[in-house]
Amino acid sequence: MERHRDDTGSVDRLLILVTVLIVAFGVLALFSASFAVGDDFWRKQILWISIGALAAVLVTHIPYSVWAKVALPLLGVTLVMLLITVLFGDKVWGARRGLVAGSSIQPGVLARLITVIYIAAWLASKGEELNQVRTALIPFGVIIGVTAVLVMAQKDLSTAFLLIGTGLLMFFFAGGDPLQIFFTVIIGTVGGGAVAMLLPYSRERLADWVASFSDPTKMPYQVWRAFQAISHGGVTGTGLGRGVLKFGYLPVPHTDSIFAVIAEEAGLLGCLIVLGLFAVFAWRGYRIALSTANPFGSLIAFGVTTMIISEAALNIAVMVGLFPPTGTALPFFSYGGTGMVVNLVGLGLLLSVSRGRPRGVWDEALDRWWRNWRTRLSGARRRPGLGRSL
């Protein structure tokens, strides 16, 4: 693992550039998709992007060790929000005279980022104990499990799935025992499969999906329309704004199906550009993760990158029929305030980590304060011998 000097202090410019390109392409695609559903959407999205960008700039300049300290309270708040949503329904967060009238916050989306932060802090504090099932894997499973269940209770299976996946990958990255992870994955897949079979709506989708490989007429409606859009686009596409399938054929072209709109209008080339942009994003993100000596920072970077990339991968997989439809958004493209802000804040975190290990008086004070908090975070014992603080 290569190690940069910890005090480079400069953000990863290529990452910023890639994200700007992705967001710009996203606005273009949303603008086109908005023809079919209403002008408000792309206009509001610009607003969300502005808010998110501001937040990102802020977060970039906050020394990232702060997040480890507030991880627990943040998680607590998120779990409460999820619980409220489960009890009182989605509408409780929406249509208030809040930031933007008629929009709503989605706690599930927020939960993904907060859990990444919390898991990163928790894993970083575990150190060598990561391989002990009792103090590591089990409590980890409980944390993720509770959050996932709350998310699933809102019928948001895909977010729960991504949450668990990201968590497991972070566990692995932190140095978890591959054998434990393997067994967890097996148990999880069986368990998750059982859950999916039990719940009627997911069972139907799963059954249809499996059947669609041999019988194309059984393809889920959204996927069938997506295929039509993709094939209509060909290699170079119909031209930006000139797609026809978004008008009354492709469901929700401004959210879940936006990739199909891109496929129709920008063709195969457009799709490859999108994939390429995400690939570069992944490269820079994982590079930051691998080159940061600080465990917490490295885990944050890994977690955020995985969070974004896995969501993109899932959305695209659904669009091309490789996964049963689950209702995930394409990050930075799909219309959605919470998602956009969360993802941009994630970018801010990545950039903050890339700036390197914070130094200075402010940071010394934080370090001292942190040493007192660490024990409370997870009951972890101080690792013997390693004098380095987090």
Q: Which is nearer to another protein, 221 or 369 (CB)?
A: 221
> Coil, strand, or helix at residue 322?
coil
**Segment near another protein (CB under 8 A); pick from 17-25, 120-128, 150-158, 243-251:** 243-251
Task: Specify the DSSP element, H or E, that contains 360.
Answer: none
Instruction: Provide the strand spans (E) within 59-140.
Output: none
The residue within the footprint of another protein, chosen from 94, 139, 175, 251 (CB under 8 A), is: 251
Among residues 213, 221, 362, 369, which is the contact residue for another protein, using CB under 8 A? 221
Measure the N-to-C terminal CA separation of the chain; round to a whole number of Å.
Answer: 19
The reply to whether 247 sits near another protein by the rule CB under 8 A is yes
CB of 222 to another protein, least distance (A): 8
Among 36, 53, 114, 349, binds another protein (CB under 8 A): 36
Beta carbon nearer to another protein, 37 or 320: 37
Among 178, 248, 379, 387, binds another protein (CB under 8 A): 248
Least CB distance to another protein at residue 244 (A): 8
Contact 187, 145 (CB under 8 A): no
Q: Does 35 bind another protein (CB under 8 A)?
A: yes
- How far apart are the C-alpha atoms of 148 and 188, rounded to whole Å? 12
Q: How far is the CB of 37 from another protein (least distance, A)?
A: 4
Distance from C-alpha of 211 to C-alpha of 213, rounded to nearest angstrom: 5
Give the SS3 label for residue 170.
helix
Which one of the spans 35-43, 84-92, 155-163, 305-313 is the region binding another protein (CB under 8 A)? 35-43
**Residue among 162, 151, 82 nearest 328 (CA):** 162
Are the C-beta atoms of residues 330 and 308 closer than 8 Å to each other?
Answer: no
Nearer to another protein, 118 or 249 (CB): 249
- Residue 104, strand partner residues: 94
Q: Does 200 bind another protein (CB under 8 A)?
A: no
User: In terms of CB distance, is 239 or 276 closer to another protein?
Assistant: 239
For the chain, strand residue ranges (E) read none
Which of 23/36 has CB closer to another protein?
36
Q: Which of 93, 249, 335, 370 binds another protein (CB under 8 A)?
A: 249
Q: What's the closest the beta carbon of residue 39 comes to another protein, in angstroms?
A: 9
Q: Does 234 bind another protein (CB under 8 A)?
A: no
Nearer to another protein, 248 or 387 (CB): 248
**240 φ, ψ to 5°?**
-60, 130
Nearer to another protein by Cβ, of 112 and 246: the residue is: 246
Nearer to another protein, 184 or 202 (CB): 202
By beta-carbon proximity to another protein, the closer residue of 175 and 251 is: 251
13 CB burial (10 A radius; 0-12, 13-18, 19+): exposed
Specify the DSSP element, H or E, that contains 150: helix 138-152
**For residue 23, how many other CB atoms are within 10 A of its CB?**
22
Please name the residue that has the structure tokens 């998750």: 192
3-state SS string for 238-249: CCCCCCCCCCCC
**Binding piece for another protein, criterion CB under 8 A, among 50-58, 92-100, 189-197, 242-250:** 242-250
362 binds another protein (CB under 8 A): no
Q: Rg of the chain's alpha carbons, rounded to an integer?
A: 21
The binding site for another protein (CB under 8 A) comprises 35-38, 221-222, 244, 247-249, 251
